[in-house]
Amino acid sequence: MLVAKPGLDGHDRGAKVIARALRDAGMEVVYTGLRQTPEQIVQAAVQEDADVIALSILSGAHNHLFPRVMELLAQKGVNDVLVIGGGVIPEDDIPFLKKAGIAEIFGPGTPTKATIDFIRANLKR
């Protein structure tokens, strides 16, 4: 599991809570910290051989940054990683993000269990 915060916002409460919940669900979680560029996230995912990338963002830059992550993964020929997103993301934007390859978007108030169940059910490898 790679939990990453793209963008410049410093609100990592959600990212940290989900990282901890995933650990308590028995997963190994690499947390990359704040202000990660899509390039850094993809490089980390490759080097860590992540099965899942969980992106958390509250800055509103998701429409720019999420598709960029997918684009870079594709460039590196990585197609077996499950990418999910969370944060303050308007409903209107979700179809666009899903089309870009984000498997699911989890908005505010999503129980961590729902995220964990989704990951378990949708792992690509």
Partner 1 sequence: MSDVPETVRRIRSGDPRTLARTISRIDDGDPSVAQVLRALHTHTGRAHVIGVTGPPGSGKSTLVDKFVGEFRRRGLSVGVLAVDPSSPFTGGAILGDRIRMQSHALDEGVYIRSLATRGHLGGLSGAVMEAVRVLDAAGFDRILIETVGVGQSEVDIVRLADTVVLVSVPGLGDDIQVLKAGIMEIGDVFVVNKSDRDGADRVVREIRSMLETALVNGVTPRALSGAGVADRGGHHIASAARESANAHGYGDAHGLPPVLKTTAETGEGVMPVVDAVEAHRAALEESGLLRERRLRNAAYELRDALGKRLLARLDSPDALARLDALARDVVERRRDVYDAVDALHEALSLEEKHPRR
Partner 2 sequence: MNDSESIRKGFATYTEGVEKSLGKFPERKGKFVTGSNAPVDRLYTPLDLEGRDYLTDQGFPGTYPFTRGVQNTMYRGRFWTMRQYAGFATAEESNKRYKYLLEQGQTGLSVAFDLPTQIGYDSDHALSQGEVGKVGVAIDSLADMEILFDGIPLDKVSTSMTINAPASVLLAMYIAVGEKQGVTPDKLNGTIQNDILKEYVARGTYIFPPAPSMRLITDIFEYCSKEVPNWNTISISGYHIREAGSTAVQEVAFTLADGVAYVEAAVKAGLDVDEFAPRLSFFFNSHNDLFEEVAKFRAARRVWAKIMKDRFGAKNPKSWMLRFHTQTAGSTLTAQQPDNNVVRVTLQALAAVLGGTQSLHTNSKDEALALPTEASVRVALRTQQIIAYESGAAETADPLAGSYYVESLTNRIEDGAWDYIRKIDSLGGAVKAIENGYVQQEIQDAAYTYQMDVESGERIVVGLNKFQIKEAAPEGLLKVDPAVGKMQEKKLADLRGRRDNAAVRTALEGLATAAQGSENLMPRILEAVRQYATLGEICDVLRGVFGEYQQKVVL
Residues that bind partner 2 (CB under 8 A): 7-13, 16-17, 19-21, 23, 31, 33-35, 37, 59-61, 63-65, 88, 90-92, 107-109, 111-113
Whether the Cβ atoms of residue 106 and residue 62 lie closer than 8 Å to each other: no
> In Å, what is the CA distance from 68 to each residue of 6, 18, 38, 111?
10, 23, 6, 27
| Candidate residues 40, 59, 110, 112; the one interacting with partner 1 per rule CB under 8 A | 40
What distance in Å separates the CA atoms of residue 107 and residue 125, rounded to the nearest whole number?
25
User: Which residue type does 80 have?
Assistant: D
| Residue 46 near which of partner 1, partner 2, none (CB within 5-8 Å, type-dependent) | partner 1
Span interacting with partner 1, options 27-35, 53-61, 94-102, 104-112, rule CB under 8 A: 27-35
Q: Does 56 bind partner 1 (CB under 8 A)?
A: no
What distance in Å separates the CA atoms of residue 94 and residue 98, rounded to the nearest whole number?
6
Q: Position of tokens 């209107």?
A: 92
3-state SS class at 88? coil
| Candidate residues 6, 14, 15, 32; the one interacting with partner 1 per rule CB under 8 A | 32
| Candidate residues 27, 61, 94, 100; the one interacting with partner 1 per rule CB under 8 A | 27
Q: Position of tokens 């509103």?
A: 60
Q: Which residues bind partner 1 (CB under 8 A)?
A: 19-20, 22-33, 36, 39-40, 43-44, 46-49, 76-78
